[in-house]
Structure 1
Amino acid sequence: ALTFLQEGIIQPSTSFPCSHGFIYGGLRVGCHGHGSPLPLIPAIATSCNAYFCWGLYRMFGDKKYGSPQNALTVWKDHMVSQGFGYKLGTDLPGEKRGFIPNAGVYDKAYRGSWNGLTVISISIGQGEVLSTPLQMANLAATIANRGYFVTPHIVKDVQDAELDSTYRERRYTS
């Protein structure tokens, strides 16, 4: 939703239909029962899969990007800026990186012939998208902070030493 808003794909009042899911041709991504159509805030409140599928479909079809590959690159860059796809750099041992696919992943898998419908599951954080519990908690902190996060850490301070700036600086999302 944040990416779609930032990119002008939707407005908070934009409504999309949900007939127990996103249905386009023979493709169906299921959803649970709730009112329809619905705008952004109720879509978030009800975790409406169809809403976010429609948003991604609209973004990948938008002519301003020129191709689904370019649209995916913009989408991926927004995801990475929010702390997904790479290690956050925490002081906790064993941090994993997660995964946000890029156009090359899909070009290889689909021999260059794919579109928003082919990869629609990424719109709801599924498919090839991998995130860690720490990345999800970090997203909640970013929303609470209204657009920035501080690299998650355990050590608050070290006696007679200054805490590494990595754990003090705000990292703003795109």
Structure 2
Amino acid sequence: MATARTDYGENEHSILYAETSGCCPLCSKSILFRKPGSSRLNKGYEVAHIYPLNPTPSQVTALIGRAAPQAINALENVIALCPSCHTKYDKDFKLDEMDKLRKIKDGFLVEARANATVADYKIQEEVYEPPRILRRLQLLRGWSHEEVSEVFARGTRARRAHGVRAPR
């Protein structure tokens, strides 16, 4: 019995599009297009299953020893591809291509988890620095409101080789 393909909603499509940054991960073509004379952008990608949804007999043979994902239609097993790459991937199935797509998708998932973790933690807007250190850092960073004139050794205001306040 064949597994039914899930009809992904707008939120899922937004996630899949955002993962790829608007480009097919295999050929780098834009996955949105504008019809001539139109100002609207149209979806120019297809949702491809990394592990085949309904493997053919030859794919079943090639996939021996590789476990199918628990949820075959989950977002973790699908990726947005341009139509030509999706067709090529489905028609000319190779384990190398599947592994390549799996690695790309895993990178997307790691990045999404990292972004979610950062969003969970409130990052301090300002780092506290003790007043004495803060004053020194202000001078070093050049954002002090004081007017400081620098005196370089052997400059016009230097009395000796070590500057204005050099020991006598």
The TM-score bracket by the shorter chain reads: under 0.3
Structure of larger gyration radius: 2
